[in-house]
Structure 1
Amino acid sequence: MKYQTLTAGLIAASLMALGGNAHAQGLPDTMTWTAYDVGSQGHSEASAIADAFGRAHNSRIRIQPAGSAIGRLQPLVAGRADYAYLATESFFASEGIHDFAERRWGPQDLRAVAGRPSTFGVPSAADADIHTLEDLRGKRVAYVAGNPSVNVKCDAILAFGGLTRDDVDAVMFPTHGAAMSSMVQNQADAACTTTTASQLYELEESSRGIRWVDIPADDEQGWQRMNRVAPVFQPFQETIGAGLSETSPANMLAYRYPIIVALGNKSDDEVYEFVKALDETYDLYKDATSAIHRWRIEDAGAPPIDIPFHAGAIRYLEEQGIWDEEMQAWNHARLARLEALSDAWSQVREEGDGLDEEAFAARWNERREQVLSELP
């Protein structure tokens, strides 16, 4: 299906002729977004925002769920999706690591439109008697096939506790939804995820019950070990989610999820209108889920985040008085990093022609580390 996009100028002219208001009318009349599986936090929030866009601007939006990082990014890169609601795979794809170190991928020219502050931790079945990360030793921990966003966070959390996958019984599930349901079905004892996935509420109400494994904020060595695996986290005490409340919080980590991602070459005007609509329809979706209120533009539109912000988003954030010189400096440095890695990837692709996949990956990893070490 070919989607027709009306320009902001044409719509504005039409509305002016009718005596109307050209309020955020640069949105395409039809869009496709990718997101995590149905039932996930990302899908639920994408659905709520899509509904708000539909009510406010008559935009028809199709959400394409996918259980893997590749499944969410491929339609965006191929031009079959307009935006993707991603997690840490946006960082991986921009860096050319994990699933994106293959020859057909490499560093992708991605931009953040906005990204909601989120939390991530280790829910466990209460009857598994897991209280600390050390208690995970020998337990069944759910992983998701083809999902580096979840799996690397889980590896980082294990590293926090001085563990690796070899120290637990890592059980691989085909989709994120299957992994989240595994504890209710007694196929796993713990998982790694956000706090409001629908399956966790099922676990809370089940005979097994739910308990969040403690990730203490004051364990400096633990945080150092974690950040050596994935340097995108900070401590957070969460009160929203399954088994959580103001009187029963849990220590976990904070990052950005979902991140609304566009390609770097997407129209500045279109992204500007998207962010404007995201901000102006906030009251229509802010109560849709327990954590969606964190999409306030002053929170969702500020770095640090996994990838550089899109110029169209920055223009809107500047108009709202949110974007400042420090943020611009951060974005400039992040763009420079992405450009340096992209140039290095092109060189390695040329030099590595004829190498097998293992040798190519080793050469790219070595060059990437060299490039990053040379950045200011």
Structure 2
Amino acid sequence: MKKSICVLFALGFLCMVLLPQAISPVFAEKLPKLITFTSYKVGSLGYTITSGFREAIEQLTPMKVRVEPYDTDVARVLPLKIGESEMSILTGATGTCVSYGIAEFSGKAWGPQPIRQVWRGLTLYLSLLARGDSGIRYPADVKGKRVPKVPGWPAGMLSIEGIMAFGNVTWKDVTAVPMSGYVNQLKGVIQGKVDVAYAATVTPTVKELQAGPHKAGWILLPHDDKAGWKRLRAKAPWLTPVVCKRAPGLPKGETMQVGTYPYSIWSYATVNPDIVYNVVKALHKGFDIYKGMHRAMPAFNIKGAVKNPSPVPYHEGAIRYFKEVGVWTPEMDKWQAEQLKAFEARVAKFKK
């Protein structure tokens, strides 16, 4: 009997030592039973990433996570605005549009919104995508082609306009084809409904195109074309030049010059700081849980969470945890104060 009790105690001790993250929650405050993330549609990288985060959060906190996919930026942000969702996976382009009140977010019902960065994640490599055998290689080649037009997706549409402007192409020079969202406009290339679509290299749908008979082809944005980049950034200032070394359709060992901005987790300033703090803590402590779920996931590490952020303030709950683990610096406090001041100025200007 004593031997059995000793064995049980020994097993219990081993479980405590070897499986601390699986059985010990990282929360201290009273948290809701359920939180919601909005994301891009099923089949997008955003949905895949958010599903990975769900695993870590549910294992390391008492909170369950519901992932709600939407087609457009407005649809993804609206649940945050009205308090029905706590967080979202959005690009730096979209987050900037929301914070600055740009395009679809410029109307009376919107204006500059108190959206906050929670975790700066993956660096995206982006451009227009075409079939590999289409002969479309540069922005000027888009003239006369079919281009998707997606309502409620300001970041994507302004990025498309910017890339066309790079080649001195406007909407008057192309045929606009109505599409319902990011993934659908990509599928439009596969299905032959459009000639180009806006894409991140890591989006799963791009792999579908590459696996088909036509393969994937990227529209290049040469960095030495300063005038082209000036026209592009006049439309989409969030896009910056980058060299991409890996993408579907890019031969091994070759590189291509395209654009970039981050893929991040966002929340509204009104969301309980304890919720944000514990989500950030779970993502840090649970990195090993999700890092192998997609080749993009390792980019969501604690050091990258505050590196080269979008020009939008961070959430106070995230900052609290970043300070605890030493990745938030005094210089970032100064940067945060500047971003908050700039946001208040945007709001005041909008209200006039």
Q: 1:21 to 1:182 in 2, by over 3 A?
A: closer
Q: Hey, what does 2:231 align to over in structure 1?
A: 225
Matched, 1:274 2:274: no
Query: 2:26 touches 2:278 (CA, 8 Å); kept in 1?
Result: no
Q: 1:239 to 1:245 in 2, by over 3 A?
A: farther
Residue deviations 1:71-102, cap 9 Å, x none?
11111111111111122222112112211111
Q: 1:320, 1:218 → 2: CA distance? A: 41
Q: Hey, what does 1:108 align to over in structure 2?
A: 113
Q: 2:268, 2:329 → 1: CA distance? A: 23
Query: 1:240 touches 1:291 (CA, 8 Å); kept in 2?
Result: no
Structure 2 unpaired stretches of 5+:
1-22
The structure 2 residue matched to 1:123, chosen from 112, 121, 129, is: 129
The structure 1 residue matched to 2:144, chosen from 128, 138, 142, is: 138
Quick one: percent identity of the two aligned structures? 30
Q: Hey, what does 2:288 align to over in structure 1?
A: 283
Q: TM-score, normalised by structure 2?
A: 0.87
Q: Hey, what does 1:296 align to over in structure 2?
A: 301
- SS of the aligned residue for 2:141 comes to helix
Matched, 1:195 2:201: yes
- SS of the aligned residue for 2:209 comes to helix
Q: Hey, what does 1:79 align to over in structure 2?
A: 83
The structure 1 residue matched to 2:330, chosen from 322, 325, 335, is: 325
Q: 2:259, 2:195 → 1: CA distance? A: 20
1:17-166 → structure 2 map (5 Å cutoff): 21=24, 23-24=26-27, 26=29, 28-87=32-91, 88-116=93-121, 117-166=123-172
Q: 1:159, 1:300 → 2: CA distance? A: 32
Deviation at 1:25, TM superposition (A): 5.0
Q: 1:245, 1:264 → 2: CA distance? A: 43
The structure 1 residue matched to 2:173, chosen from 162, 167, 181, is: 167
- SS of the aligned residue for 2:111 comes to coil
The structure 2 residue matched to 1:343, chosen from 320, 327, 348, is: 348
Residue deviations 1:98-143, cap 9 Å, x none?
1111111111111110122222111111121111121111122223
Q: 1:222 to 1:297 in 2, by over 3 A?
A: farther
Q: 1:245 to 1:320 in 2, by over 3 A?
A: farther
- SS of the aligned residue for 1:342 comes to helix
Deviation at 1:230, TM superposition (A): 2.3
Say what the alpha-carbon RMSD is for the aligned residues. 1.9
| Counterpart residue identity of residue 165, structure 1 | W
Q: 1:326, 1:213 → 2: CA distance? A: 38
Query: 2:87 touches 2:265 (CA, 8 Å); kept in 1?
Result: yes
Q: 2:344, 2:251 → 1: CA distance? A: 43
